[in-house]
Amino acid sequence: MSQQIPLTWFLYFAAASFSIGLMGVLMRRNAIGVLMAIEIMLNAANVNFVAFWRYGPTPASEGPISGVMMALFVVTVAAAEVAVGVGLILLCYRRWRAADVDELDSLSG
């Protein structure tokens, strides 16, 4: 390609989607909605990792694909997190008939 994409463009994209995810976490009342927003945030971080791996310099002691490996493990963590989260949400839903974070009110203080 004659024209290249600067690194900062990827970073802008990641930053924007990350803050969108943060906004979603704050604005969603439904736990599953919050889960989706968290997924957006994790993906933004992944884009950062892969972009830095592809563009940035790495010290010699580093593996050839450290950034990609990090992103890979983050994907694993995200999958596990979603499974656990949905399990917890089901558990609470059976008790409250609601999956909304702010309807859980037995604990207070």
Partner 1 sequence: MAAGFSLQDFILFSPVILLTGWGLLTLILDLTVLSRLGDTERNRALGLWTIAGLVSSVVLCQFLAFEYVGNVSGQDNLIFFDTLNGGVLYTQFAALVLLFAILVTCLSMVWNFTSHWGEYYALLIWSAVSMIVLIASEDLITLFLSLETMTICLYLLTAMEKSKKRSAEAGLKYFVYGSVSSALFLFGLSLVYGQTGSTSIDMIGQILSGAERPGLSGNLAGGVAVLMIMVGFGFKISAVPFHQWAPDAYEGAPAPIAAWLASGSKLASLVAMVKVMGGALGTWSATTSPTSPGWVGLLALISAATMTYGNFTALGQTNLKRLLAYSSIAHAGYMLVGVIAVGISTRREEAAAALFFYLVIYGLTTIAGFALAAWLDRDLGTESVDDLNGLGRRHPYVGVAVCVLMLSMIGIPPTAGFFGKLYMFMEALNVGGQDKVTMIGLVALGLFNSVVSAFYYVRILKAIFLRETDRKPLQNMGPEISLPLAVGAGLALFFGFQPASLLEDMEVVSRSGLRFAERPIASEERGVVRTILPARPASAEAAPPTEAPKP
Partner 2 sequence: MIQALFIALSAFGLLMALGTVFARNLVNAALFLVAFFFVIACQFVLLEAEFMAAIQVLIYIGAVTVILMFGIMLTRNIQGDETTTVSKRWRLLGLGAFGTVCTVLVLGINAYQPWTDLAVRPEFPVTKDSTTPRGQAILSMTPTVGREMMTRYVVAFELAGLLLTAALVGAVVLAQHDSTDIVNAKAEKPGTEPAVTGS
Question: Which residues, 6 to 45, sit near partner 2 by CB under 8 A?
Answer: 6-13, 15-24, 26-33, 35-37, 39-40, 43
Of 25, 69, 80, the closest CA to residue 46 belongs to 69
Q: How far apart (Å, rounded) are the C-alpha atoms in residues 32 and 28?
A: 9
Q: Which of 11, 12, 42, 36 is nearest to 24 (CA)?
A: 36
Site for partner 1, rule CB under 8 A: 11, 14, 18, 21-22, 25, 31, 34-35, 38, 41-42, 44-45, 48-49, 51-52, 56-59, 61-62, 66-67, 69-70, 73-74, 76-77, 80-81, 84-85, 88-89, 91-92, 95-96, 101, 104, 106-107, 109
